[in-house]
Amino acid sequence: MQVFGLLGNPVGHSLSPPMHEAAYDHLGLEARYVTFEPAPDDLERAIDGAAALGVSGCNVTIPFKRDVLAFVEPDPLAQRIGAVNTVDFGESPPTGHNTDAVGAVRALGRHDVTLERASAVVVGAGGAGRAIAFGLADAGATVTICNRTASKAETLAEAVPGATGGGLGRLPVALSSADLLVNATSVGMEADQSPVPPEALHADLTVMDAVYTPLETRLLRDAAKRGATTVDGAWMLLYQGVAALERWTGESAPVEAMNEALRQGLSSPVAGSGE
């Protein structure tokens, strides 16, 4: 029996267990996906304990994505992003990876979005924004990062190839000629708000929101009214999980089975945030 899991605090309403276990059932794998909730100062012991107990792999979520870098061997992309959300215990020391970047790219690919030579705007310069900005740039897009604190966007843009950064005031101009907009902030999760002025949206945009609770955010409603193509946040959540599972097992993930389980979980009244 292989054991996989999620390291975070809190993880009580995580949607990852049903999504991953649907894949194991579909593939006929003897495996289970469990949640681990160590205290914030016990992360190193949690990693060591998981390795000692023969855990095959773990996803990592808030508040550990940056801190776990000190206790694994990060791959080049995770090192550049500065965060790990997937740990593979198949090697010693365990290796760290970031599947948020590929999750965003694969989610957009699912909706036939071409990133090569595309003009992309990312709102937010936090952990999700960093991963998405690197993923889009590596896929060939030219990235503009807009953040409430302009200096954070400017600092991130210095690290992302070909990117520029600034404050939210740049959004109307940046979006006027953009092909893609991604909201990588939590705006829209707790309140019916959008980080983007609706008048800045247009029909030639694809708009993806990393927020997935609710699935239909104010931003996506505004974008649909403007005729834009919309991509809800569950697609990114799905494909980061797909990438993790494929890394751990070497199997092609049953994407549709995982998507069905994820969306059933999201329809539950107790569905929560976090991976």
Nearest Cα neighbor of 151 from 169, 135, 166, 172 is 166
DSSP collapsed to 3 states, 41-89? HHHHHHHHHHHHCCCCEEEECCCCCCHHHHHCEECHHHHHHCCCCEEEC
Q: Is the pLDDT of residue 272 over 90?
A: no
- Please report the pLDDT score of residue 7 as a whole number: 97
Query: Domains in the chain and their CATH numbers?
Result: 2-97+235-266 (3.40.50.10860), 101-232 (3.40.50.720)
The verdict on whether 225 is a catalytic residue reads no
Over residues 59-73, the pLDDT tens digits come to 999 999 999 999 999
Question: Which H or E run contains 180?
Answer: strand 180-183
Classify strands 57-60 and 31-36 as parallel, antiparallel or unpaired: unpaired
Catalytic option among 20, 65, 130, 170: 65
pLDDT band at 270 (very low <50, low <70, confident <90, very high): low
pLDDT tens digits, 92-143:
899 999 999 999 999 999 999 999 999 999 999 999 999 999 999 999 999 9
**Average pLDDT along the chain:** 96
CB count within 10 Å of CB 203 equals 9
pTM of this structure: 0.94
Tell me the per-residue pLDDT of 186-244, one tens digit each, with 9 for 90 and over.
999 999 999 999 999 999 999 999 999 999 999 999 999 999 999 999 999 999 999 99
Buried b / exposed e along 166-201 (16+ C-beta atoms within 10 A) = bebebbeebbeebbbbbbbbebbbeeeebbbeeebb
